[in-house]
Amino acid sequence: MLSEKEKLNRLMMLGIELNQVHDLDILMEQILTEARVFVNADAGSIYIRDGNFLDFTYTQNDTLQKRLGKGEKLIYSTFRMPIDEKSIAGYVAATGRPLNIANAYEIDAAQPYRFSKNFDETSDYTTRSILTIALKATNNKILGILQIINAREEETKQVTSFTDNDEKTMTHFASIASVALERAQMTRAILLRMIRMAEMRDPNETGAHVNRVGGFAVEIYEKWAHLHNLPQKEIDRNRDILRMAAMLHDVGKVAISDLILKKPGKFNDDEYESMKLHTILGAQLFVDRQSDFDDAAAQVALDHHERWDGTGYPGYVDISTGIPDPGFELPNGKARGKKGEEIHIFGRIVALADVFDALSSKRVYKDAWEEHDVLTEIRKNSGLQFDPELVDIFFSSLDIIRAIQHRYQSN
């Protein structure tokens, strides 16, 4: 547990560190991790406001995590609740006032809010102390709720109550975290507006689709990075930029003709060649590269249709012209495709994530495939279309992949 001096020093650095995280989901993970360290809490959750509702968005729980095998992640269901005074989180969102509850099972009957036992009963967990703080925007609007659960004694690890000082510390923490959260929400909104532009042209390019692809990509990358012993700092930075870059994998479709994008049947040869240009056009949007994100977004847009066996597209081309790079022109005038590890790891990952989601989803020209058929197709193309190592990682992550599908269901 941090000393008071360490907490003060940590708070001073917190804003700088959180503002280096740009992706909303990655930021929520870091906010909750940091918050629990500050008050030595076993668990916690973040709710994000959506109109008059709170969406249960992210959770951590050390006790439940310890029951899982090495490398496994806690799977949880998302849900929403109304903003009213009947629930603990709803009460804090409705009033803006923090709640520090010593025992969730002994709430005074005179209080309007009640503790829901559902999570405890389904997960064999016991919630006792709960500290709930509103996350407020600069205009004092409620962005969401930060809820920290089961304070622990430093020595014995026994569950105890949150102190008044814990409440003050977390109120200050929440004000700093809210600034980063508001900025990340604005960044996500900008990304989704870009995606909606593509959706106006291509009905398949939906917000739900890109959120799923981004979520799949981050999970696959994290396992791959640990297997390759990458430094944690590099993993954290790459997770942040990959998730956003993966969401924009097909942004180049904004420059493709509606006659092609909205064609219900199969493309003829000329139409297919035109469609393939979306990879180069997408990369061109980030040609004036000023950040690691620009580099990642350009690489993902360019490489996500390359194949492990080298038969993908666009291959080795000059992004500005689409002309094959010197030495990589085939007899037919096209560029040789990248193969194997010539393809950037981000491109290899998004290729797998995108195909899995496309096959699993209903499209204008097809029904959604059954999961068994999708998985058979993925396995069949291991070593042909997809990196075999990534396919193995994908299959070892199916539980979390399914949870991401559930979280970002299409309307």
Based on the fold, state whether residues 355 and 271 are members of the same structural domain: yes
Based on the fold, state whether residues 211 and 175 are members of the same structural domain: no
Q: Which of 118, 93, 122, 123 is nearest to 104 (CA)?
A: 118
Quick: pLDDT tens for 77-90: 788 999 999 999 99
Q: Is the dihedral of CA 201, 202, 203, 206 positive or negative?
A: negative
pTM of the prediction? 0.83
Based on the fold, state whether residues 371 and 239 are members of the same structural domain: yes
Query: Is residue 335 pLDDT above 70, yes or no?
Result: yes
Q: Which of 12-21, 98-107, 108-117, 366-375 has the lowest mean pLDDT?
A: 12-21
Indicate whether 193 belongs to any domain. Answer: no
Based on the fold, state whether residues 171 and 235 are members of the same structural domain: no
Q: How far apart are the first and last CA of the chain?
A: 44
Based on the fold, state whether residues 345 and 229 are members of the same structural domain: yes
Q: Is the dihedral of CA 329, 334, 339, 344 positive or negative?
A: positive
Residue 219, domain CATH? 1.10.3210.10
**Domains in the chain, number:** 2
Quick: pLDDT tens for 193-214: 888 777 776 666 677 899 999 9
Using CB atoms within 10 A of its CB, is residue 357 exposed (0-12), middle (13-18) or buried (19+)? buried
Q: What value does the mean pLDDT take over residues 67-94?
A: 90
Q: What value does the mean pLDDT take over residues 173-197?
A: 90
Token pair, residue 336, equals 């040789």
CA–CA dist 183, 197 (Å, integer): 22
pLDDT confidence of residue 258: 83
Based on the fold, state whether residues 207 and 177 are members of the same structural domain: no
Quick: pLDDT tens for 142-167: 999 999 999 999 888 899 999 999 99
CB 53 within 8 A of CB 83: yes
pLDDT confidence of residue 87: 97
pLDDT confidence of residue 72: 80
Q: What value does the mean pLDDT take over residues 95-110?
A: 96
The listed range with the strongest mean pLDDT (124-133, 191-200, 260-269, 356-365) is 124-133
Quick: pLDDT tens for 223-271: 999 999 999 999 999 999 999 999 999 999 988 888 888 887 788 999 9
pLDDT confidence of residue 203: 64
Indicate whether 190 belongs to any domain. Answer: no
Question: Which residues constitute the domain of residue 31?
Answer: 4-185
Using CB atoms within 10 A of its CB, is residue 108 exposed (0-12), middle (13-18) or buried (19+)? exposed
Residue 17, domain CATH? 3.30.450.40
Amino acid at 392: D
Which of 185, 216, 242 is the last residue before a domain boundary? 185
Which of 150, 185, 220 is the last residue before a domain boundary? 185
CA–CA dist 302, 87 (Å, integer): 47
Reported confidence tier of residue 1, pLDDT bands at 50, 70, 90? low
- Degrees to nearest 5, angle at CA 387 with 384 and 388: 85
Reported confidence tier of residue 363, pLDDT bands at 50, 70, 90? confident
Indicate whether 172 belongs to any domain. Answer: yes
User: How many of the other CB atoms lie within 10 Å of CB of 25?
Assistant: 20
**221-224 own/partner pairs: CB under 8 Å, 24+ apart:** 221/345, 221/346, 221/349, 223/71, 223/393, 223/396, 223/397, 224/345, 224/349, 224/389, 224/390, 224/393
pLDDT confidence of residue 173: 95
Mean pLDDT, the chain, as a whole number? 92
Based on the fold, state whether residues 220 and 145 are members of the same structural domain: no
Higher pLDDT, 302 or 208: 302
Based on the fold, state whether residues 175 and 318 are members of the same structural domain: no
Q: Is the dihedral of CA 251, 257, 259, 265 positive or negative?
A: negative
Residue 144, H or E segment:
strand 142-152
Based on the fold, state whether residues 168 and 276 are members of the same structural domain: no
Total number of residues shown for the chain? 411
Based on the fold, state whether residues 348 and 247 are members of the same structural domain: yes
Indicate whether 192 belongs to any domain. Answer: no
Indicate whether 195 belongs to any domain. Answer: no
Query: Is residue 2 pLDDT above 80, yes or no?
Result: no
Using CB atoms within 10 A of its CB, is residue 127 exposed (0-12), middle (13-18) or buried (19+)? buried
Indicate whether 194 belongs to any domain. Answer: no
Share of the chain above pLDDT 70, in %: 98
Quick: pLDDT tens for 305-316: 999 999 999 999
Based on the fold, state whether residues 179 and 231 are members of the same structural domain: no
Q: What value does the mean pLDDT take over residues 261-284?
A: 90
User: How many of the other CB atoms lie within 10 Å of CB of 136?
Assistant: 18
Based on the fold, state whether residues 88 and 133 are members of the same structural domain: yes
Which of 156, 185, 214 is the last residue before a domain boundary? 185
pLDDT confidence of residue 365: 66
Q: What value does the mean pLDDT take over residues 5-18?
A: 81
Indicate whether 340 belongs to any domain. Answer: yes
CA–CA dist 210, 25 (Å, integer): 13
Token pair, residue 42, equals 């076993």
Higher pLDDT, 365 or 39: 39
Indicate whether 191 belongs to any domain. Answer: no
